[in-house]
Amino acid sequence: MSELNKILLWHAGQYPAMQPQDAVKLIYQNEFGCEHLIEDPSGMLAYLKREIAENAQPKAERCWDEIGNGLVRLHLAGLKEHDAEAILDAMRQTAAQHSGSEDSFQSKLKEMRRLCQANKLPFDEQTLNAWLAGYPGGPVHHSAIFRSQHHPAYRVMLRSLAEALRNQNS
């Protein structure tokens, strides 16, 4: 079983409200990382500080979720606003060190379709095809149902950088 299949199945188990949109977001992040988020560093820093403040509850049960390709979704819960600059720096380093390709992304979408055909994801192939028919390409937000049930608050970065950040906060 491929790394991506393991990642998709794990996320489906952890996040049962996952919709095609959320799975495509996961695959997009697995392939392209976080590059699209750091086009406006000062705006991203302010937004990140607000998001950390809104998620000031105790640490999440996991520090991060693996998304493959050496990348993770670092949970913001339990972090402090003063961590925002280090997180943004880790995102910049990730964008500089990680790149993807459209061909690989399309191949990964086909892998997801095979999991749907095998009834291993929380949505069927018809639902996936209907969503993909309107997919504009590029990054997308989480689905409304995913946001309401799972309250995602994270940033994508290299696992090694996430480990360093969390070690600073231990």
At 101-126, the pLDDT tens digits run 999 999 999 999 999 999 999 999 99
Beta pairing partners, 156: 73
SS3 at position 62: coil
Q: How far is CA 83 from CA 2, 32, 49, 138, in A?
A: 34, 24, 8, 28
The whole-model pTM stands at 0.93
User: Under the phi-then-psi rule, with left for phi > 0, alpha for psi from -120 to 50, and beta for the rest, what region is 151?
Assistant: left
Looking at residue 153, its pLDDT comes to 93
Looking at residue 39, its pLDDT comes to 73
Q: Which residues contact 127 (CB under 8 A, 6 or more apart)?
A: 19, 20
Share of the chain above pLDDT 90, in %: 79
- The structural domains of the chain, with segments of one domain joined by +, span 3-168
At 134-153, the pLDDT tens digits run 998 999 999 999 999 999 99
At 10-54, the pLDDT tens digits run 999 999 999 999 999 999 999 999 876 667 777 889 999 999 999
Looking at residue 37, its pLDDT comes to 63
Looking at residue 42, its pLDDT comes to 78
